[in-house]
Structure 1
């Protein structure tokens, strides 16, 4: 799909938790990412990015917590141009906002917390995982939840290695989690992780909340393979 740039992107793997990552892009600025990855051709690398994924995720949230749409306070972290939030508003959600540094959206006011923080297909793009998870945890209300999507490694990752389709630096996938590494990142910030599928995960401090119970009880389809 894209010409060979001649640039070698090397990945490493943790022997303890199987997390796979590259440091080759760690020194990049936001402008570098926008120039080389999140440019006009990015939709070729990730076609669902423009409409299908925001529409699918809005429907997912509506199915999970639609009964709370009048009251639930939602932040979509890394929400691109905010399309999913606009689609939620069309579905009757009254309190949903989006923020995304690459689109110039400022972060929420200091100290503000949300019942539900969503983070769809973002985790794998962020070099500084420690700061990311710390920020996400700060944004979640004490009895709230974090709903995130990132595809965890398949059982045969030791055989497939970087042949795994999700390991695509052109897509900006610089951090590839195993279930163990993802659980560890959430535990460090004081949250428990429950994987609803290989792609969709809920994290929370206490399960004793109607919102968390609604997320855990939802029927979630397994992720589809790329076409």
Structure 2
């Protein structure tokens, strides 16, 4: 991989991005647990937007589905994200159950980017109307056949997408007139800054983390798609058009 030679507009706000730093392709999130893959010798350049602080890896964002499957989402993916199989979906299902379980009779839920569907399967055991959709790898499931939902979850999805605008178009097309979206992605604030090397563990091309969001970039993304934005913490966030009655607790009402 070589440094992208052309300027890349920010896919969130449209400003011109600048090259921020370069890391080895095998940099993974498991380095936070002291597990290191051998260096691959393949350079991945990350660009940062000076306006909204969104950070992306432009060359990987241009990959085909086949390239992602060959180099990232292959049989060795479990080595650098062991929690995705069951630990994370079970924990996220428990989070949704605790947050909205008392209103489940009025909820039609979609887990966007749901992988094997374990999160939805778990909620259905608790009496939820829950479905799962995963846009990658692409399959016969069509967005326009899913209908609309008043609760959408997207855990560990945003950092994997090549085009945040396309993701938001997909999500807003699935939203009912009253809908809340609960999603997770770790904020880059305090971790990615000008004139500072990219040592943050979450900036991990081997995990497919090619879109890294600041809080400001998420605010801009929400505004551009006519949505409100809020955060529970620096990992878990929400988007909404109008809050359903069972979700007004998010505002303290």
- Residues 56/111 of structure 1: CA separation in 2 closer, same or farther (3 Å cut): closer
Query: Is residue 2:198 matched to residue 1:171?
Result: no
TM-score by length of 1: 0.89
Q: Which residue of 220, 238, 242 corresponds with 1:202? A: 238
SS in 1 for 2:198: helix
Shift of 1:174: 0.3
Matches within 5 A, 1:1-227: 1-93=36-128, 95-103=129-137, 104=139, 106-110=141-145, 112-158=147-193, 161-207=197-243, 209-217=244-252
- 1:161 and 1:57 map into 2 onto residues whose CA distance is 32
TM-score by length of 2: 0.80
Q: Which runs of 5+ in 2 are unaligned?
A: 1-35
- 1:76–1:118: 8 Å Cα contact kept in structure 2? yes
Higher relative contact order (CA 8 A, sep 6+): 2
- 1:213 and 1:197 map into 2 onto residues whose CA distance is 18
Shift of 1:157: 2.8
- 1:115 and 1:101 map into 2 onto residues whose CA distance is 19
Give RMSD over aligned pairs.
1.7
- 2:148–2:176: 8 Å Cα contact kept in structure 1? yes
- 1:86 and 1:127 map into 2 onto residues whose CA distance is 28
- 1:53 and 1:29 map into 2 onto residues whose CA distance is 27
Count of residues paired in the alignment? 215
- 2:110–2:151: 8 Å Cα contact kept in structure 1? yes
- Residues 172/216 of structure 1: CA separation in 2 closer, same or farther (3 Å cut): farther
- 1:193 and 1:212 map into 2 onto residues whose CA distance is 14
SS in 2 for 1:119: strand
Q: Which runs of 5+ in 1 are unaligned?
A: 218-227
